[in-house]
C-alpha cells in the first residue's frame, strides 16, 4: 500500500490519498494521471490492468486501487 501511495504522490502530491474516495468521480485525477498510474503499476508491481477494469469505482481511492492490484495478482 505504501509503495502505491508513493507512486500516486509522485503523480499528484496535492491529494490526501488516505482519505480521498472520489479521485475519478470528483475529477481530481485526469485520464492522463490514470494512465501514468497504470503504467507505473505494470512496471513496479508487474500487474497489467486490463482495459475493462479501468472504471471509476476501481480507481476512486488508494484502497480500491490496491484491492484491484491484489485481485489481479491472485488471478495470475
Partner 1 sequence: MAFVSYEFLAFLAVFVLVYYVLPGRFRWMVLLAGSLLFYLASGIRYIVFLLITCVSIFGLTLWMERIHLAGKEEMKNQGMKGEEKKAFRAKLKKRQKHVLQLGLFVNLGILAVVKYTNFAIWNVNQWLHFFGGEGEFGFVSWALPLGISYYTLQALGYLLDVYHGKYEAEKNPFRLLLFLSFFPQVVQGPVSRFDKLKETLFEEHAWFGQRICRGMERMLWGFFKKLVVADRVAPVVMAVGQNPEELGGIYVLAGMLAYTLQLYGDFTGGIDIAIGCGELFGVELPENFDRPFSAESLAEYWRRWHMSLMQWFREYVFYPLAGSKSVSRIRKLGERFFGKKAASRLPMYIASLITWFFTGIWHGASWNFVIWGMVNGVILLASQEAAPLYRRFHKAYAFSNTPVYHRFMTLRTLMMVSAVQMFEYYASPLTAIRMFGDLAFVWDIGRLFDGSAALLGITLADFAVLFLSVPLFCLVGAIQAKEDIRLWVERKSGLVRFLVWFGLFLAVLILGVYGQGYDKQNFIYNQF
R_g (Cα) of the chain, nearest Å: 11
Among 2, 16, 31, 74, binds partner 1 (CB under 8 A): 31
Q: How far is the CB of 21 from partner 1 (least distance, A)?
A: 19
Taking 3-state DSSP, the helix, strand and coil percentages for the chain, each rounded to the nearest 5, stand at 60, 0, 40
Q: How far is residue 43's CA from residue 39's CA, in Å, rounded to a whole number?
A: 6
Q: How far is the CB of 52 from partner 1 (least distance, A)?
A: 4
Binding residues for partner 1 (CB under 8 A) = 12, 14, 27, 30-32, 34-36, 38-40, 42-43, 48-52, 54
Amino acid at each position: 500500500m505504501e509503495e502505491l501511495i508513493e507512486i500516486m504522490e509522485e503523480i499528484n502530491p496535492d491529494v490526501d490519498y488516505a482519505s480521498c474516495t472520489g479521485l475519478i468521480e470528483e475529477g481530481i485525477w485526469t485520464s492522463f494521471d490514470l494512465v501514468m498510474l497504470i503504467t507505473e503499476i505494470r512496471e513496479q508491481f508487474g500487474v497489467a490492468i486490463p482495459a475493462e477494469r479501468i472504471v471509476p469505482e476501481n480507481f476512486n481511492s488508494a484502497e480500491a486501487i490496491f484491492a484491484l492490484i491484489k485481485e489481479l495478482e491472485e488471478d495470475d
